Amino acid sequence: MFTLFQKEINSFFSSLTGYVVIIVFLVTNSMFMWVFKGDLNLLDNGHANLDALFFLAPWIFLFLVPAITMRLFAEEKRSGTLELLLTQPITEMQIVMAKYLAAVVLILFSLLPTLVYYFSVSKLGSPPGNLDTGGINGSYIGLFFLAAVYASVGIFTSAITDNQIVSFLLAVLVSFFLFTGFDLITSADLFGNLDTFLVRLGINEHYRSISRGVIDTRDLIYFLSVISIFLLGTNIVLQSRKW
């Protein structure tokens, strides 16, 4: 499993994929936070916080994470190497976890440089260092888990098709629905008392909850449960090739 994990990490950084993902993520956030005029611009809004980052990042990851995961199984299926991989002394679940963890590590690498934003904004505070550290820490944890959910969705969609574009589009659509779809449904006020339950099924509700700086075990269980569902689904898809 570790060998496959290492292979996937190396493939990300031996090609442009890993570097492009990190650069696009950082540049896009930086442009909105420091260059483009508007409410998200830190210099314009006059508040020393990272709210802009944690508002933008889920939407940027919505496209970048599927771009990372779309090739993980789809390319293996298209080239015929998946069959060879399945004959190795490694279980289907170990294959899934190796590829998934490689994608998660790349996501983590893209988040680490944003700590520069934290130190920059900290210096801009009045007095310097006047930041809601608890809220920022919670937001980082929530953002990581949100991206981890996107990665599990992308792994699953990559396993059900041999077309990378189809995998990408499906992952974007499913992730979009999980992130904001339940909010849109409940905004129509069609389900009465069920609205509260439906909102809790969406990622955004739990992401906002953790972003307040309070790590609720219910939010962590939610994220881990959604990740597990899609990883188990991917495992079933791989096992079905033997049926």
pLDDT (tens digit per residue) in 9-26: 888 888 887 888 889 999
pTM for the full predicted model: 0.93
Q: The domain containing residue 49 runs over which residues?
A: 2-242
Q: What distance in Å separates the CA atoms of residue 151 and residue 178, rounded to the nearest whole number?
A: 13
Query: What tokens appear for 208 in the block?
Result: 């906002």
pLDDT value for 112: 92
- Rounded Cα distance, 1 and 3, in Å: 5
Which candidate, 204, 215, 236, places its Cα nearest to that of 54?
204
Name residues whose C-beta falls within 8 Å of residue 129's C-beta, 6 or more positions apart in sequence.
Answer: 122
127 backbone dihedrals φ, ψ, rounded to 5°: -75, 165
Domain tally, the chain: 1
Helices (H) and strands (E) in the chain, counts: 14, 0
Q: What's residue 128's pLDDT? A: 67
* Spans of the chain, pLDDT less than 50: none
pLDDT at 196: 81
- In angstroms, the Cα distances linking 44 to 25, 41, 117, 177, 222 are 22, 5, 16, 32, 36
